[in-house]
Chains A and B, each alone.
Chain A
Amino acid sequence: MSFDVKYCLIAICTLCFHLETQGQVLSDTMRTKDIPQVTVTSDRTANPRSVSTSKRADAALMQATGSMQVSDVIKYFSGATVKDYGGVGGLKTVSVRGLGASHTAVAYDGVIITDNQTGQIDLGKFSSSQTESVRMVSGPDNDLLQPAALAAQAAVISLSTGRPDLGDAKAKGNLQLKGGSFGTISPQVTAQFKAGKRNTASLQAEWLETQGNYPYIQEGAGSRKMYRENSDVKRLRLESALFSDIGCNSSLTTRIYWCQTGQGLPANIYYNDYAARERLGNNYSFIQSTLASPVNDRLTLRFSAKYSINYTNYVDPKSNNAQGFTENHYTEREGYLSGVTLYRLTDKLSASAGIDFRYSKLASLGDESPRPTRYTVNSTAAIKYASERLTLTGRLNHVITKEKVVIRQAAESYNHLSPTAGLNWLAWPAAGLHVRASFSNTFRLPTFNDLYFEQIGRRDLRPERASVASAGIVIENQADGLFYSVYADAYDSNVKDRIMAVPGKNTAVWMMKNIGLVTTHGFETGLEMRGAEGRVRPALQVSYTYQRSMDKTDSGSTTWNHQLPYTPRHSASAVAWIENNIVNASCNLIYSGVYYCNAYNGPQYRMPSYYELGCSLWRSFALDTGNLILKAECINITDSRYELVRNYPMPGRQLRISISIDL
């Protein structure tokens, strides 16, 4: 594949992000000319000017938490609940503020990743070594250049791959090798080079292999030590990016992504061993391009285009159906075009408008499958006022869809309007105290599974609607070389018309229905401290989340006011690390209080509280070419035994070592 890019200049695709991390108190409205190119430093993880609670994990935090997969580091974000089936291959989805995983959008370098079939993105598929930072915004974003599809989501997790920083060098390379318990090995090679005056290219290849045969304890009459079976994973990721300076301060970033995974699906541990034979193959590949162009002082444009193919192959070699096995193939193809225009009306007032067009087609083998196609048009209009102390945002999102199926009947078109608004006020400049508040009304469309899956799907579903009102404070300051930030936010969220499987008129056949109502009262708080200077640089990050997610569907039901499944009322995390010239060290802790694995909070569904403690040591040696980093980690030091998802045990103690050499 070739893509001729002749003109290149400054990368603005990451500009909005840079703006946020600069910490300019003045205004974070788009002002292209003033912005010098900055290297992202790890002095800040959240933006105090954000109208919503936002968290960011940078390389340092990912190092300190021993995160191998992106989902690992999200466990340290307050307000996020990670549902994890355990091991490298186990599905990992993130629900923010009790809204459910389908309300969390995932963006890769600013472009949304979608899965119309299940509505959930497995964050375990992304390794921490491919991402430079992970950012999570639980509500409306300050960024006016946000594409319409992302702006319409209740929460967005953005994975940023960063951009090569070659300096004067023509080319750079990096080799990484990780190895760990349960047969885990992962080499990665990265090459970055200048291609002509205005192009920078990067190539990356990562191989991940794990046996995943970790031990667990099977409770019951006489506990037995067993080993997880069929939880092996093999994954190859090839990625290349071209960063082009196309003149007029505009930049074009083009990325090709190809990721092939073959894995087993470990079974519920109460099945007999012979049940764990299911295999899953997945190939996710895409090409995406983003053009960011500040046309002049006042006008900025951002265009993205993407084409993706998500192929999934599920095999159950031991099914009891007629042919003796089950094999499903699904291919979801998606074409995506996005455009956003930002216009600075005055120094303080900006407005933007954006439109996204998406075409998604799910093909699956079998004559009886409906093979749906969905056309989605997301549009958005936003306005922002940003003065020295005050930021106000307002946004209207609109979606319209059109659906087609090959057989049977397609779902009706959706046509929805949803607003968001936010405020951030620097109430006490001396202390760096901001007050923030936001409101968002968002929705998620029914997935293809919700609408069409065998007997369960129902084509008359409405979108699931979420609304969140949040208010809080954030203090950010710097004193004596110590950067610190404290935040506390309280929120109320509602999910209406929840799409759930319930017995139909024939009680033997379950069906999807818009039936649930969930109300969450939540509170999240966190503290972050980092010593930026000196020979010994300590850092600490602590967070706590309270979530009371209640089923408010039917006051006569036995689940009325019961806590949402897999949502602990109390959860907390802490990471402390110290960087110095001898050896860096970190210690991390995750705690979850009691929760339930069912909508009905009976004792038989109660899941005990758990904690997981880890630590790591690493050191960086300076080489002529760059750095050599050696790292040793111990995850789950105390060998804490717990299950996040009922009957899917999490791994116990693990060791991991890694080496990274710049070439």
Chain B
Amino acid sequence: MKKGLLKITPILLLTLACDPEPILLEPGQIIADAGHTGVFVLSEGLFNQNNSTLSWIDFGTGKPDSWDTGNGLSYDSFEKVNGRRIGDTANDMLLYGSKLYIAVSESSTIEILDAASCSSLKQISLSRDGKASQPRRLAASGGYVYVCCFDGTVTRIDTVTMMNDATIQVGRNPDGICCTGGKLYVSNSGGLDVDNPDNTVSVISLSYFAEVKRIFVRSNPGNIYSDGDNVYVVSRGKFSYVTMDYDTRLHCIDTQTDEVTATYDLPILNMDIADGKAWFYGYGAGGTIQVLDLATGQILDQDFITDGTRVQCPYSIKVEPTTHKVYVCDALDYVTPGSLYCFSPDGHLLYSVPGIGINPNTIQFCDINVKTTRYTGPPEIKGDIDRVFEYKPAPGQFVNLLPVYEQGDDSASMALKCLNALQSGNMITLGGFGGYITAGFNATVQNQDGPDFRIDGNAYNGNAEPGVVWVSSDANGNGLPDDTWYEIWGSEQKEGRATLGYAITYSKPAANDGNSEWTGSDSRTGSILHNSFHSQPYYPQWYEGNSVSFTATLLPDNVTYENGIYVMSSFGYGYVDNLPNSPENSQFDIDWAVNSDGTPANLQSIDFIKIQNGVIGCNSTTGELSTEVSTIYNLNSKTE
């Protein structure tokens, strides 16, 4: 045995399972793999027990993320963060972008998680005609996640809106999905009709999201994989009441012709592909991992594990594509939390993590830093905003603080942080002139008599940082703010004191504590001064490139210097962060919205809102003027 190996006996496992202690691996040494930050392991639990779990094994700390339930230690990061369980029989997991997607079959839901925090962003319930769809497997491409459901459908989920935007019909009880060459391949098992299974693979064009072909294979196709050129599908055949077993084949489908080009007589249950080879396990071989040459169908290695490690019941397998380390989950006896094993490319056990979850069925590498925090109770949702589409602040003294930027954040994760802040009554900053946020109301705001919505900020007398509001209605009904925007004209536009369409460009300072220089479209220049109160970089750290530009309505300069202090006076009406928060001061009327020529827009209702800082100003005492936004209310939601 190699130095530093952990050998786990069943007895040890038992004690661990009863009173689990996190297994300390050697940090950064044997556990590190191809720059991944760790692996997620999804465990389906037991049917009808509602005990699917998600575990995070951090390669940095060398241990699984754990928490004390008060009843023992748990490795379920999902429950730790979200205060509830994933559901019943979580079948598949996929990390795509910054989000983790989980298909929960018996609960008939898709969980969308922010991978970095494991917090659930959205739970999509999938049903058709009141019938549970039973999502089974996931695939992703081109900004969409595709899920095949046991009700004979494939549903497409938009990763930005996190909504299912289209569903198509395929064969019966699809049980596998993979994506390659602009096409989706879905294996139609028909497994719910034991005596009459399906025998087709549906080919779906991604560009049309429509089925273009059905390939005939042996009965009951299940797991399906792609290596880029070919698609491989496991066909289980019809159950034989003589042998009381299935008789499995592996089909190879050429993705150019979409024809079956080869069929191998192999008892494959599950496999993973790297470099033209497949590491697989079957049944009848007592947990043996074998290696297959996919081009020839020849077994290259009858028994991959060379050090005598026994995997009792392999339940999932993953091969790191570059290092060829092989990760295998062991379901043990199906009722006990199983183990994760990591093998070196030559089949030696490097380490194992016992007690990871019951029936661990999916392993997912992750390159994002994951940090979980314990759930503390349901957040009280304030206001009526449920989506933040874009958060694009200009440089400012609160930028990277409200909300906090952390290493690895991108525009999507920052938008999510803004949503969390707005929903919990916390403030976000728009930074200097031009910075903006785009958000969606949880219900359409009807234009009624009097004020229709309210936006709170942090203004007080002599400290106004007015922001301009734009509104839009979801005219095309796609849930996205890609419809016409209408500006809300407040007192300054109305009186002709504002400059419409003023463009500004900020440059990224060389040093973290440098000033951000700006140039306006009228050749004015200035800078966002770094002050002593806030030491973090003021330039948004998730922006790419060395400059950022905005076009916005420029309101008149509202800063005066009186008796040694800077006074930032308020405008008449119609701006965010302009007057101290009060129902009267913070309210807006949809009737104030205008067309680009200033004529009334006469909107019936709005769905989206955009708030943009409308003032340029900076002084040595209070820094630059930056609009802050807290809660946004739909004033007409109660009266509907």
Interface of A with B (CB < 8 Å)? 219-222, 268, 270-272, 274-275, 277, 318-322, 367-368, 408, 454-455, 458, 503-509, 511, 556-560, 597-606, 646-647
> How long is the Cα–Cα vector from A271 to B71 in the complex, in angstroms?
25
Contacts of A274 in B (CB 8 A): 108, 127, 130-132
Q: Known: A270-B88, A272-B132. Is A557-B152 also a contact (CB below 8 A)?
A: no
User: Which residue of the partner chain B has the closest CB to A597?
Assistant: B49
Residue B378 at the A interface, CB < 8 A? yes
In the bound complex, what is the Cα–Cα distance between A272 and B332 (angstroms)? 30
Pairwise interchain contact B69-A270, C-beta atoms closer than 8 A: no
Residue B313 lies at the interface, judged by CB distance under 8 Å to chain A: yes
Check A322/B69 contact, CB under 8 A, given A272-B125, A509-B245.
Answer: no
User: Can you name 13 extra interface pairs (CB under 8 A) apart from A271-B132, A275-B132, A558-B333?
Assistant: A220-B83, A221-B82, A318-B130, A318-B131, A320-B173, A504-B245, A505-B245, A506-B245, A508-B236, A509-B239, A509-B245, A557-B333, A597-B49
B337 at the interface (CB under 8 A from A): yes
The verdict on A604 contacting B336 (CB below 8 Å), with A270-B50, A270-B87, A408-B241 known, is no
**When the two chains form their complex, are residues A598 and B46 in contact, meaning their CB atoms are under 8 A apart?**
yes
Measured in the bound complex, the distance between the Cα atoms of B71 and A408 in whole Å is 49
Q: Does B578 contact A (CB under 8 A)?
A: no
B196 at the interface (CB under 8 A from A): yes
Q: Which of A454, A603, A646 contacts B69 (CB 8 A)?
A: A603
Interface membership of B5, Cβ < 8 A: no
Q: In the complex, which of the residues A221, A455, A560 contacts B84, with contact meaning CB atoms closer than 8 Å?
A: A221
Q: Is the CB of A506 within 8 A of B335?
A: no
Q: Please classify the interface of chain A as helix (H, G, I), strand (E, B), loop, or mixed, using the class held by over half of its residues.
A: loop
Supposing A318-B131, A602-B336, A603-B72 touch, asked if A507 and B283 sit within 8 A by C-beta, the answer is yes
A221 and B335 in contact, given A272-B127, A455-B239, A509-B246 (Cβ under 8 angstroms): no
Could you say which residues of chain B place their CB within 8 Å of the CB of A219? 84
Q: A271-B107, A507-B283 are in contact. Are A606 and B71 (CB under 8 A)?
A: yes
**B562: which A residues are within 8 A, CB to CB?**
none
> Contact between B17 and A508 (Cβ–Cβ < 8 Å)?
no
CB neighbours of A271 from chain B (8 A): 88, 106-108, 132
CB pair B132 A322 closer than 8 Å: no
| B contact residues around A221 at 8 Å (CB) | 82-84, 375, 378
* Closest CB in chain A relative to B527 CB, distance in Å: 46
Q: Which residues from chain A contact B85 at a C-beta distance below 8 Å? A: 220, 270
Q: Complex Cα distance A600/B18, Å?
A: 10
Residue of B48, B130, B192, B358 near A320 (CB, 8 A) is B192
Alpha-carbon distance between A137 and B252 when the two chains are bound, in angstroms: 63
Q: Are B108 and A558 in contact (CB under 8 A)?
A: no
Q: How many whole Å from A643's CB to the nearest CB in chain B?
A: 11
| CA A506 to CA B237, docked complex, whole Å | 13
- Residue pair A558, B132 in contact (C-beta under 8 Å): no
Provide the residues of chain B in CB contact with A458, threshold 8 Å: 244
In the assembled complex, the CB of A453 is this many whole angstroms from the nearest CB of chain B, namely 11
- Which chain A positions have C-beta within 8 A of B14? 558, 560
Interface string of B301-332 (1 = CB under 8 A from A): 00000000000010000000000000000011
Q: How far is the CB of A648 from chain B (nearest CB, A)?
A: 10
* A to B CB contacts below 8 Å, 29 in the list: A220-B83, A222-B378, A268-B106, A270-B50, A270-B107, A271-B88, A271-B107, A274-B108, A318-B130, A318-B132, A320-B132, A320-B152, A320-B192, A455-B194, A455-B244, A506-B269, A507-B283, A507-B313, A508-B269, A508-B283, A511-B244, A559-B335, A600-B333, A600-B335, A602-B17, A602-B337, A603-B72, A604-B358, A606-B71
Contact residue among B152, B244, B336, B375 (Cβ-Cβ distance under 8 Å from A558): B336
B186 CB, min distance to chain A CBs, angstroms: 15
B193 touches A647 (CB 8 A): no
Give chain A residues whose Cβ lies under 8 Å from the Cβ of B131.
274, 318, 320
| A319-B192, A557-B333 given; A506·B284 CB < 8 A | yes
From A321, A557, A605, A647, residue with most partner B Cβ within 10 Å? A321
CB contacts (< 8 Å) of B87 on chain A: these are: 270
What residues on A are CB-neighbors of B269 within 8 Å? 506-508
Which of the residues B50, B284, B335 comes within 8 Å of A598, measured between beta carbons? Answer: B335
